[in-house]
Structure 1
Amino acid sequence: MPLALLALAVSAFGIGTTEFVMMGLLPNVADDLHTSVPTAGYLVSAYAIGVVIGAPLLTALGSRIPRKRMLVLLMGLFTVGNLASALAPGFGTLLGARVLAGLPHGAFFGVGAVVAARLVREDRRARAVATMFLGLTVANIVGVPAATLLGQHLGWRATFLVVAAIGLVAMAALGRLVPYVPVDEGQGVGRELRALGDRQVLLGLLTAVFGFAGVFAVYSYLASMTTEVMGFGESAVTLVLALFGIGMTLGALVAGPLTDRALRPTLYGSLAALALVLVGFRFAVHQQAPALVGVVVLGAVGFMTTTPLQMLVMNKARHAPTLASASNHSAFNLANAGGAWLGGAAIAAGWGWTSPALVGAALAVVGLAVAVTAGLLDRGRDRDGSGTGSGTDGTPSRVVASGSRPEPLAEAAAGPARATATAEAVRSAGTD
C-alpha cells in the first residue's frame, strides 16, 4: 500500500478522536461550564451539524482545487476548529467551535476516499479506502479512551489541544506523502451536482442514513448501558468503548477485500448481520461476558457497512465522485443524529436502557430494504439497456454488444493503456 494512505489514516485518526471523544467528556464539560449534561449533549449534535453542512459546501467550493492541496486546507480548518474548542471561554463559543471543527470532516473523507482509490489498482480500491478508514477505527481503540482519560485528569481543554496537535502532524504528513492529484478535466460544481442527482447515488445515501442509524441508536447510549445494565462501574466505560473500536477495526479489515470482490452482497450481508446482532445484543447485554463479546461484534458488523456504502456512491458517480463521496459522510452524520434521537426517545418512553438495540435493528432492516430495492432497480436498468448498471461488485459497466465483456467506464472512456498510464502517473507523481 502507498505511504500516502498512512497520511490519510493519521488524519482520519485525528478526526475520529475529536468526533467521538465529546461523548465521554460531557460530564466534565457540563461541570466546568456550569450547564447540565443533556444541554452539553448539544455539543455532539453541533459537530454532526457541521459535518452535514460542510461536506457538500466545502466540496463544492473546492471542486477546482487540486486534491492534495484541498486535503491540507481541510485539515488546517479542522486544526483551527479544535484549537478554538480548547480556548472557548463559554458554552456558546464552544458550540460554535464544534460546528467549525465538524465542517471539514465529510469533505476530507470524501476527497480522501477518491484520492485513496486512485493510488492503487482498480481491484484494490475498496481496500485502499478501508485503510484510510482504519484511522477512524483506531481512534476508537486508542484515541478516544486516551483523550477521555486525559480530559478527566487534566481538563477537557487539554484534550482538544492534543487533537489540534494531531491535526498539525496530519497536515505535515499529507504535504509530505500524498502525491499531486490533479482535478479532472471539465470537473466543476455542475458536473458534481449532476452526478449526485443519480438515482442510485441518492438511494445509496438513503441506505447510509437508515442503516448506520441502527449503529448509533445503541452506540450513543453504550456508556449508560455499561453502568446501568451490564453492571460495570464508570471506570469500565473506556474499556467498553475501546472494545467497540476493536470491533470497528476488524470490520474495516474484513470489509475492504469483500467489497473489492462483491460490493452489493457485502452491503446486504453486513446490514442483515447488523439487524440480527442488534436483536441479540438486546438480550446479551444483561450478562457481562456476553455483553463484552456483543460490543465487539456490534462494532464489527456496524462498520462493515461503511466501505461498501462509500464505494457504491463513488462508483455510481464515477465521473464526478467527490461530492457524492463527501455527501455520504453527511448521510452518516444524519444517521448519527437520527439514531441517537430515536434511541433516546425509546428510553424516554420508558422502554428501558436496552430498547435502543431494537430500534437500531428496525432501522437496519429499513436500510437493507432500501439497499435491496436499489439493487433490483439497477439490475432492471441493466436489462433494458437504459443506462449504466452494475454487476454484483457494483462497478459501473458499459452495456456492449451481445457476447462482449462489459468494460469499466473509466477504461472504456480512455482505453486500457491510457487508464493504466494515468494510474501509474498518480502513484509515482511528486509532491504538489
Structure 2
Amino acid sequence: MKKVAYIGCLGMIGVITTEFGVIGILPQVAEHYQISIEKAGVLLSAFAMVIALTGPFMTLLASGFDRKKVMLTAISIFLVTGVVSSFAPPFWLLLLVRILPAFLQPVYIAVAIAAATADVTENKKNEMMGIVLGGIAITMVTTVPLATYLASKMTWQVSFMIQAAVTVIALFAILKGLPPMPVREKKSYGSQFKILTDRSFILSTAMNFLMIAAWFSTYSYFADYLTKTKDMSDEMVSYMLLLFGITGVFSNWLSGKMLNKNIPKTTALFLSGTVIIPVLLYFSDGSTIADIFVIAIWGFFYAPCFLNASAYMISAAPQSLAFANSLATSFGNLGVAIGTTVSGWFIFCYGVAITSWVGAAFGIAALAMIGLRSFLEVKKTG
C-alpha cells in the first residue's frame, strides 16, 4: 500500500501548502491590504477554526463514500482556492475562499490515512501514516520556502500560484494513480462516538490541542518574528524556512520509526522542543550563526507534531482510526487557531519577541497531559 500512501502524501503537500503557505507572506499581505499583522493572521486562524469546528462531523458524513472520490473532491476545492487567491481579490473574498477548503481538509487527511493503512499489518500502520503525514514536512522544505522566496523577489500572489500548481499535480496523481476505493464496512456513528467517553482519549485530545497551540504560537508569525527580532530580510527568511524544512523531513522520518517502539516517549521527546527552543532563541540573540543553528533544531522538533499528535490520539482509540484521526486534525487546528490568536494578542501588547514564551507555556501544559494519561493508565493496569 506504499503507492497509496505516497499519492496521499502528494495530496497532503497540496493541502498543507494552501494552509501554511501564507505564513511566509503574512507581512506582504498585511502591507498590501493596509492591515496589521495580527489581522492578516486571521487568514491562518480562520482556516484552522473551521477545521476545528466541522472536521469530525464532515469526516463522519464522508465515511461511507468512495475514498478516491472524496480525495478528488477535496483537492479540487483546494485548487479553486489557489486560483482565486492568486488574483489578489478584496480581503473579505480572500478570506472566504481560504475558508471553503477548510471544511474538507480533515476529511482528506482522515481518508488518505485510512486508505494507506487499510491493508497493512499493525506494526506498519504508523509507518504508512508517517508517509502520508510526511507531506507536511516535505511542504516545509519545498513549496513553503519556495513560495516565500519568489514572493520576496516578485509579488505575494506568486505564493498562491504555486499552491494551485501543486494541487493540479496532486489532483492528476489521485485521478490516474488510485483505483476506486469503496468503503467495505461503514461503522455506526454510535460506535465511533463512544471514544469520546474514554478518559485516555480525552487527555490525548487535550495534549494534541495544547501541543499544536504551543508550536503555532511562534511558527504562525515565523516571518515577522525573524525580521523583527533577528533583523533578517525577506529573502533570508525564505532560506530559514528551507533549513527549517530540511531538518524537519529527517525528524518526521525518524519520528515515524520511533513511534513504532514507544508512542508516549516519542511524543514527549519532540514536544520538549517547545520549551527548549525559546531558551535557545533567547541566548542566540546577536549571533546570526547561532540563530541559524537554533532554527535548524526548531525545525527538527516541530516537524513531526501532527504525526505525533495523530499517533498519540489513535493509540487511545485504535478501533476508530478515521474518526480519531479527524478529531486529531480538528483539535490540532483548534490549537493552530488558538495559538495564533493568543500569540497575536501578546504581540499587540508586548511585541513579537514574546511569542516563543507563549509557546513554552502551552508546551508545559501539553507535557502535563502526557504525564496524567500515563499515570491513569498505570493506575488502571496496576
1:77-111 deviation per Cα after TM superposition (whole angstroms, max 9, x unaligned): 22233333335632111111110132222221122
Q: Which residue of 1 aligns with 2:293?
A: 293
2:62–2:107 contact (8 Å) kept in structure 1: no
Aligned pair in 2 of structure 1 residues 305, 23: CA closer, same or farther (>3 Å)?
closer
Q: Which residue of 2 aligns with 1:339?
A: 339
Worse overlay, 97-106 or 337-346: 337-346
Which runs of no fewer than 5 residues in structure 2 stay unpaired?
Answer: none
2:67–2:111 contact (8 Å) kept in structure 1: yes
Q: Which residue of 2 aligns with 1:229?
A: 229
Shift of 1:296: 1.4
2:17–2:163 contact (8 Å) kept in structure 1: yes
Aligned pair in 2 of structure 1 residues 39, 249: CA closer, same or farther (>3 Å)?
same
1:313–1:321 contact (8 Å) kept in structure 2: no
Shift of 1:363: 1.3
Aligned pair in 2 of structure 1 residues 372, 349: CA closer, same or farther (>3 Å)?
same
Q: Which residue of 2 aligns with 1:402?
A: none
Amino acid at match of 1:355: I
1:54–1:107 contact (8 Å) kept in structure 2: no
Worse overlay, 58-67 or 155-164: 155-164
Q: Which residue of 2 aligns with 1:165?
A: 165
Q: Distance in 1 between matches of 2:4 and 2:153?
A: 35
User: In the alignment, does 2:256 pair up with 1:253?
Assistant: no
Identity of aligned residues (%): 25
Aligned pair in 2 of structure 1 residues 229, 242: CA closer, same or farther (>3 Å)?
same
Q: Which residue of 1 aligns with 2:321?
A: 321
Amino acid at match of 1:65: F
Shift of 1:229: 2.5
Q: Distance in 1 between matches of 2:233 and 2:308?
A: 37
Aligned pair in 2 of structure 1 residues 280, 153: CA closer, same or farther (>3 Å)?
closer
Q: Distance in 2 between matches of 1:89 and 1:344?
A: 24
2:26–2:223 contact (8 Å) kept in structure 1: no
Aligned pair in 2 of structure 1 residues 248, 331: CA closer, same or farther (>3 Å)?
farther
Shift of 1:300: 1.3
State how 1:391-430 maps to structure 2 within 5 Å.
Answer: none
Q: Secondary structure, in 3 states, of the residue corresponding to 1:51?
A: helix
Q: Distance in 1 between matches of 2:55 and 2:171?
A: 19
2:137–2:304 contact (8 Å) kept in structure 1: no
State how 1:52-201 maps to structure 2 within 5 Å.
Answer: 52-87=52-87, 89-153=89-153, 155-201=155-201
Aligned pair in 2 of structure 1 residues 73, 24: CA closer, same or farther (>3 Å)?
same
Q: Secondary structure, in 3 states, of the residue corresponding to 1:64?
A: coil
Shift of 1:207: 0.3
Shift of 1:369: 0.6
Q: Secondary structure, in 3 states, of the residue corresponding to 1:3?
A: helix
Amino acid at match of 2:370: A
Q: Distance in 2 between matches of 1:154 and 1:289?
A: 28
Shift of 1:182: 4.2
User: In the alignment, does 2:370 pair up with 1:381?
Assistant: no
> Going by fraction, where is helix more abundant, 1 or 2?
2
Aligned pair in 2 of structure 1 residues 270, 36: CA closer, same or farther (>3 Å)?
closer
Rg bigger for which structure?
Answer: 1
Q: Secondary structure, in 3 states, of the residue corresponding to 2:78?
A: helix
Task: State the aligned residue count.
Answer: 382
Q: Which residue of 1 aligns with 2:358?
A: 359
State how 1:266-305 maps to structure 2 within 5 Å.
Answer: 266-305=266-305
Q: Distance in 2 between matches of 1:201 and 1:72?
A: 31
Aligned pair in 2 of structure 1 residues 44, 272: CA closer, same or farther (>3 Å)?
closer
User: In the alignment, does 2:282 pair up with 1:310?
Assistant: no
Aligned pair in 2 of structure 1 residues 278, 253: CA closer, same or farther (>3 Å)?
farther
Q: Distance in 2 between matches of 1:11 and 1:133?
A: 10
1:63–1:189 contact (8 Å) kept in structure 2: no
1:251–1:303 contact (8 Å) kept in structure 2: yes
Q: Which residue of 2 aligns with 1:25?
A: 25
Aligned pair in 2 of structure 1 residues 315, 296: CA closer, same or farther (>3 Å)?
same
Q: Distance in 2 between matches of 1:274 and 1:39?
A: 25
Q: Distance in 2 between matches of 1:101 and 1:348?
A: 29
2:23–2:221 contact (8 Å) kept in structure 1: no
Q: Distance in 1 between matches of 2:53 and 2:347?
A: 29
1:258-288 deviation per Cα after TM superposition (whole angstroms, max 9, x unaligned): 0011111212222234322332233224421
Aligned pair in 2 of structure 1 residues 218, 26: CA closer, same or farther (>3 Å)?
closer
Q: Distance in 2 between matches of 1:156 and 1:253?
A: 31
1:14–1:167 contact (8 Å) kept in structure 2: yes
Aligned pair in 2 of structure 1 residues 79, 194: CA closer, same or farther (>3 Å)?
farther
Amino acid at match of 1:148: T
Aligned pair in 2 of structure 1 residues 22, 259: CA closer, same or farther (>3 Å)?
same
Amino acid at match of 2:187: Q
Amino acid at match of 1:376: F
